[in-house]
């Protein structure tokens, strides 16, 4: 499995706005190894970073894209699913029974749900209350979605084993087709080697290694 090393930082970062400062992320490894196995078209550069301390896992998606599509008709599941977004999936093991999904758009809307194999999604499930914070920043040529997830909640969901979190890292990019309709390009850190786009499969996950 692919691995990403999550650097340990000092547990002195309590200011919520601090993670918006680029200096906060200087120690993090920059992950740019993304692919879109089902399309030959190029896509905008993505930089992903993560850090951790004894309280939180911090994450940062920076996407260099000047044409971001957001469906703002409401805040429903469909609206978020029809928008440019970034995603993190977490699993206990390769049985995927269950695994947990966070889909986040430029408006910092979050679609969090518990999932089981064969596209069995429980949209009524929510990440443990108060254990997840998301922020976003939109600029002319890029957007950033970042946040923090409590270590306590990851442990509660049995997602940390031997200082490793099995994780999927993804992006959905919507663009107009020839008919003027928005269609997604699916982008992933790990190529799942499927004929059709599919993030909801064991082969799309890698490992986040929590460094000591």
Between the alpha carbon of residue 41 and those of residues 47, 184, 185, 187, the distances in Å are 18, 12, 9, 11
pLDDT tens-digit profile of 68-123?
998 988 888 888 999 999 999 999 999 999 999 999 999 999 999 999 999 999 99
pLDDT of residue 11: 78
| Alpha helices by DSSP H, the chain | 77-81, 151-156
pLDDT tens-digit profile of 133-189?
999 999 999 999 999 999 999 999 999 999 999 999 999 999 888 888 889 999 999
pLDDT of residue 57: 97
Identify each DSSP E strand in 64-159 by its residue range.
Answer: 85-91, 99-105, 110-116, 120-122, 132-138, 143-150
pLDDT tens-digit profile of 22-31?
999 999 999 9
Contacts of 157 (CB under 8 A, 6+ apart): 90, 92, 100, 128
What integer is the mean pLDDT of 27-55?
A: 95
pLDDT tier at 14, thresholds 50, 70, 90: low
State the Cα–Cα distance between residues 131 and 17, nearest whole angstrom.
17
Query: Which secondary structure element, helix H or strand E, spans residue 63, and what is its range?
Result: strand 56-63
Contacts of 178 (CB under 8 A, 6+ apart): none
pLDDT tens-digit profile of 79-93?
899 999 999 999 999
pLDDT of residue 182: 87
Report which of 31, 35, 25 is spatially closest to residue 5, judged by C-alpha positions: 31
pTM of the predicted structure, to 2 decimals: 0.95
pLDDT of residue 152: 98
pLDDT tier at 41, thresholds 50, 70, 90: confident
pLDDT of residue 12: 67
């Amino acid at each position: 499995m692919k691995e990403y090393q999550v650097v340990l930082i000092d547990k002195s970062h309590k200011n919520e706005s601090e993670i918006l400062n680029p200096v906060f992320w200087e120690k993090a490894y920059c992950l740019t190894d993304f692919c879109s196995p089902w399309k030959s078209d190029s896509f905008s550069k993505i930089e992903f970073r993560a850090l951790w301390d004894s309280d939180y896992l911090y994450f940062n998606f920076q996407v260099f894209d000047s044409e971001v599509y957001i469906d703002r008709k409401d805040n429903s599941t469909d609206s978020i699913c029809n928008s440019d977004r970034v995603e993190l999936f977490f699993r206990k093991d390769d049985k995927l029974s269950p695994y947990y999904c966070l889909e986040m758009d430029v408006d910092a809307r979050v679609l969090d749900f518990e999932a089981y194999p064969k596209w069995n999604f429980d949209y009524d499930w929510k990440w443990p209350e108060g254990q997840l914070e998301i922020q976003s920043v939109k600029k002319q040529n890029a957007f950033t979605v970042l946040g923090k997830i409590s270590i306590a909640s990851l442990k509660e969901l049995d997602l940390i084993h031997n200082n490793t979190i099995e994780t999927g890292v993804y992006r959905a990019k919507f663009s107009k087709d020839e008919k003027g309709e928005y269609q997604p390009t699916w982008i992933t850190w790990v190529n799942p080697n499927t004929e059709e786009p599919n993030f909801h499969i064991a082969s799309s996950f890698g490992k986040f290694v929590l460094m000591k």
